[in-house]
Amino acid sequence: MTALLSVEGLGITFGGLKAVNDVSFTVQPGEITSVIGPNGAGKTTLFNMISGVYQPGRGRVVLGGEDVTGMAPHLLARRGLSRTFQNLQIFQSMTVLENAISGYHLKERGPVLADLLGLPASRRRAAAAASGARELLARVGLERAAEREAGNLSYGALKRLEIARALALSPRILLLDEPAAGCNAVETEEIDHLIAEVAASGVAILLVEHDMKMVMRISNHIVVLDHGEKIAEGDPASVSRNPAVIAAYLGTDAETGAAHADG
Amino acid sequence: MRVSAKSATLLVLVVLILLSPVLFPSGYYYRVGALIFVNAIAVTGIVILTGYAGQISLGHAGFAGIGAYACALAPVHLGLHPSLAMILGAAISAVLAWLVGRPILRLKGYYLGVATLGFGILVSMVLNNERQLTGGPDGMEVPDLGLRGLLKDAGLDLTNGQFWYFLCGIVLIAAAWLALNLYNSPTGRALRALHGSEVAARTVGVDVARLKLQAFVISAVYASVSGSLLALQNKFITPDVAGFMHSIEMVTMAVLGGVGSILGAIFGAAVLTLLPQVLTVFAEYEQLVLGLVMMGVMIFLPQGLLPSILRRVRGKDE
């Protein structure tokens, strides 16, 4: 099995509603796999199960050959799974640089006593994380904003900051939940390039995105969800021609968009 | 730049502690100063727990009580020197905080507040009811630390007030130094991260439960040391030190000054320790005033007195 991540029959029920039902797919290293579907299709819920925020009701998540179903997010982070959020989860009152440094938590953490006493070892760890963070900020074009309070940044800048923070973990797989949402055309293109670059470096990317142009342009593989079920899967060309996908998006089904539990 | 913020805070603190006595109209103010420092030590612990990690405790006086009674009991029953009794008290507080914190810190917001409140009340009840051991509500005597005598023999003759003023001042500086080290350290950053967004902190690998517990234990040790110093200074202790009002005082001092900043919190401790000395009516209406202060600050100065004043002075871009 060469897949880095494999999702097997994953499902969850919220108050009798099957938010996600029996979804399976695999993600390969160095490839961009996108999950698309109408609002309420269960994309974010799926993300939350894979990243350990929700406990799946059924099915398995296998990461690098290890069953990590329902594992706590901080343990998944140690195994190389990193993510961003649809509704930004930025540390608002910290500076941009501190936000990026926090992505190095697993590399910079040490004995709390050393941190309290400000021992050289503690300061060395912090300094190494800070220099790595500065490089990452430069990579996403935020180096000039490093000392600003994150809460003051524009939406698009925060999106990039979140990606920088996620990259700080040197992940094997990166889950991006609508990284381009709310961004203008220029910002979208920047994020676009960044994602392609990260994938080219061998990281597996799992993407949820509404911007269809972007998805079709950068994805290697697309999984289509509707009403919590996988209705299609394949390369961009075949998915965009798939009648079931077209039907789901054009809303021939009267129930499309009904209240599904989605982020 | 960050380092200088830390040095600046420490410098301000050292200068204030050294120079304030010049303004003291009488020796009595050394005692007031020492009381401010004792409170400020506990409040610095609250800053770590609430300001850094965003967790609320309404029971930290319980740990102050443990620190205080350790200094009263251990010298008598275990034959420990009072200074070792203080360390023992801190160790007991740390272990207890760890045991109590493990289940409690899974709770959030108000629930955490209520659970810690329960812990504080429990300690207070034990101290009130174990009369044979603690003397109950009447309190008990605390042995002399003995350090002042040693200093006198060494040629440094301080009044009792001066001695406690400078001893507590030194401990406060050490307490602030540790807390400031923590702020920009990996642990401090992780604490502030989980304060900002628990889910995001988890995503970057922060073991949220463990980090909260560390903050809780550290702040419990601060409260315990504060209680010990209070007991040793007064040479007498009553269960009030562990009482609910004392817990509320700590939180109010921290919130008043600015729970996110060490200097602010110390400032808050100074204001609320001085008030009853200046306004004797305050003593009678302490609960009322504390409540009003808390509400006023929350509504008008949510970041606390000192940060709000600084912001006003520097203009809006801080």
For residue A25, tell me if it sits in a domain.
Answer: yes
Q: What is the domain count for chain A?
A: 2
Residue B47 pLDDT grade (very low, low, confident, very high; cuts 50, 70, 90): very high
Q: Which of the four pLDDT bands, split at 50, 70 and 90, describes residue A254?
A: very low
Q: Identify which of B54, B161, B162 has the alpha carbon closest to the alpha carbon of residue B108.
A: B54
Partner residues linked to B254 by β-bridges: none
Least confident of B201-215, B248-262, B281-295: B281-295
Is B205 a domain residue?
yes
The answer to whether position B119 is within a domain reads: yes
Q: Which residue has the tokens 């329902």?
A: A70
Amino acid letter, residue B61: A
Q: How far apart are CA A2 and CA A15, in angstroms?
A: 36
**Is A149 in the same domain as A227?**
no
A181 and A164, same domain (yes or no):
no
**Tokens found for residue A125:** 């760890």
Query: B317 in a domain, yes or no?
Result: no
Closest chain A C-alpha to B12 CA, distance in angstroms? 20
Of B58, B42, B111, which is closest to residue B244 (Cα–Cα)? B58
More confident site: B152 or A259: B152
Average pLDDT over residues B278-290: 74
User: Is A169 an 8 Å CB contact of chain B?
Assistant: yes
Q: Which residue has the tokens 């060469």?
A: A2
Residue B318 has pLDDT above 50, yes or no: no
Which amino acid, B278? V
Name the percent of chain A lying above pLDDT 70: 95
- Strand order across the A66-67 sheet: A17-27, A5-14, A58-63, A66-67
Asked if A108 and A165 sit in the same domain, the reply is yes
Q: Is residue A208 part of a domain?
A: yes
Task: Answer whether residue B288 shows pLDDT above 90.
Answer: no
Mean pLDDT (whole number) for B46-54: 94
Number of domains in chain B: 1
Using the structure block, give the residue that is written with the tokens 């040490």: A110
Q: Of A146, A170, A194, at which residue does a domain stop?
A: A170
Query: What is the number of other CB atoms lying within 10 angstroms of the CB of residue B152?
Result: 12
Instruction: Decide if B109 is inside a domain.
Output: yes
Average of per-residue pLDDT across A136-161: 90
Confidence tier at A263 by pLDDT (50, 70, 90): very low
Phi and psi, residue A176, nearest 5°: -115, 115
- Considering the domain boundaries, does residue A6 fall inside one? yes
Question: Using 50, 70 and 90 to split pLDDT, how confident is the model at A3?
Answer: confident
| Cross-chain residue pair A102–B190, CB shorter than 8 Å | yes
Is residue A85 included in any domain, yes or no?
Answer: no
The nearest CA of chain B is from the CA of A216 a distance in Å of 28
Residues A177 and A251 in one domain: yes
Is B3's pLDDT higher than 60? no
Contacts of B197 in chain A (CB under 8 A): 89-91
Sheet holding A81-83: strands in order across?
A81-83, A173-177, A204-208, A32-36, A221-226, A229-234
A190 and A164, same structural domain?
no
CA-based nearest residue to B166, from B181, B147, B182: B147
pLDDT at A255: 44
- Establish if A128 belongs to a structural domain: yes
Q: What is the pLDDT of residue A6?
A: 94
Evaluate whether residue A86 is within a structural domain. Answer: no
| pLDDT level of residue B149 (50, 70, 90 thresholds) | confident
Reading the block at residue B129, the tokens are: 């009811």
Amino acid at B187: T
| Residue B307, domain member (yes or no) | no
Q: Is A188 left (phi over 0), alpha (psi -120 to 50) or beta?
A: alpha
pLDDT at B26: 86
Determine which of A47, A51, A74 to mutate to test the interface with B (most B C-beta atoms within 10 Å).
A74
Return the sign of the alpha-carbon dihedral for residues B237, B243, B245, B251: positive
Give the mean pLDDT of B180-203: 94
Q: Which residues of A touch B260 (CB under 8 A)?
A: 93
- At B291 the pLDDT is 80
Least confident of A26-30, B116-120, B165-169, B293-297: B293-297
Which residue, A148, A170, A192, sits at the end of a domain?
Answer: A170
Phi, psi of B199 (to 5 degrees): -65, -40
Q: Which of residues 74 through 133 in chain A touch B, CB cutoff 8 A? A: 74, 77-78, 82-83, 85, 89-94, 98, 101-103, 105-106, 108-110, 112, 114-118, 122-123, 125-126, 129
Question: Which residue is associated with the tokens 């939180």?
Answer: B251
Instruction: Return mean pLDDT, chain B.
Output: 89
Do A61 and A123 belong together in one domain? Answer: no
Structural domain of A16: 1-80+171-263
The pair phi, psi for residue A235, each rounded to 5°, is -80, 165
Establish if B229 belongs to a structural domain. Answer: yes
At residue B77's C-alpha, the angle toward residues B72 and B83, to 5°, is: 50
Residues A60 and A12 in one domain: yes
- Which pair of structure tokens corresponds to residue B1? 């730049």
CA dist B130 and B127 (Å) reads 6
Q: How far is A120 from chain B (nearest CA, A)?
A: 11
**Residue A182 falls within a domain, yes or no?**
yes
Based on the fold, state whether residues A126 and A232 are members of the same structural domain: no
The pTM score is 0.89
Minimum mean pLDDT range among A163-177, B200-214, B287-301: B287-301
Average pLDDT (A97-115) is 94
Say which residues have a Cβ less than 8 Å from residue B85's Cβ, sequence separation at least 6. Answer: B70, B71, B73, B74, B75, B78, B228
Q: What is the DSSP string of chain B?
A: -HHHHHHHHHHHHHHHHHHHHHH-SSTHHHHHHHHHHHHHHHHHHHIIIIIIT----S-HHHHHHHHHHHHHHHHHHT---HHHHHHHHHHHHHHHHHHHHHHHTTS-HHHHHHHHHHHHHHHHHHHHH-HHHH-GGG-EE-----HHHHHHHTT----HHHHHHHHHHHHHHHHHHHHHHHHTSHHHHHHHHHHH-HHHHHHTT--HHHHHHHHHHHHHHHHHHHHHHHHHHHTEE-GGGGSHHHHHHHHHHHHHH-TT-HHHHHHHHHHHHHHHHH-HHHHHTHHHHHHHHHHHHHHH-TT-HHHHHHHHHH-S--
Task: State whether A147 and A207 are in the same domain.
Answer: no
Closest residue on chain A to B188 (Cα): A115
Question: Looking at the domain assignment, is residue B266 inside a domain?
Answer: no
Q: Report the pLDDT value the prediction gives residue A252, as an integer from 0 to 100.
A: 58
Of A84, A103, A99, nearest to A148 by C-alpha is A99
Residue A87 lies in a domain: no
CB contact under 8 A, A91 and B204: no
Q: What confidence tens digit (pLDDT) does each residue in A213-252 have?
A: 889 999 999 999 998 899 999 999 898 888 888 888 776 5
Same domain, A101 and A51: no
Task: Please write the tens of the pLDDT for every residue from A182-219.
Answer: 888 888 888 888 999 999 999 999 999 888 888 999 99
- Determine the structural domain holding residue B161 and report its residue range: 30-249
pLDDT in tens, B219-236: 999 999 999 999 999 999
Rounded to an integer, the average pLDDT of A248-260 is 54
Task: Give ipTM to 2 decimals.
Answer: 0.86
Among the candidates A170, A204, A225, a domain finishes at A170
In a domain, B285, yes or no: no
Query: Are A125 and A245 found together in one domain?
Result: no
Q: What is the pLDDT of residue A257?
A: 42
Residues A108 and A71 in one domain: no
Q: What is the mean pLDDT of chain A?
A: 89
Quote the minimal CA–CA distance from A30 to chain B in Å. 21
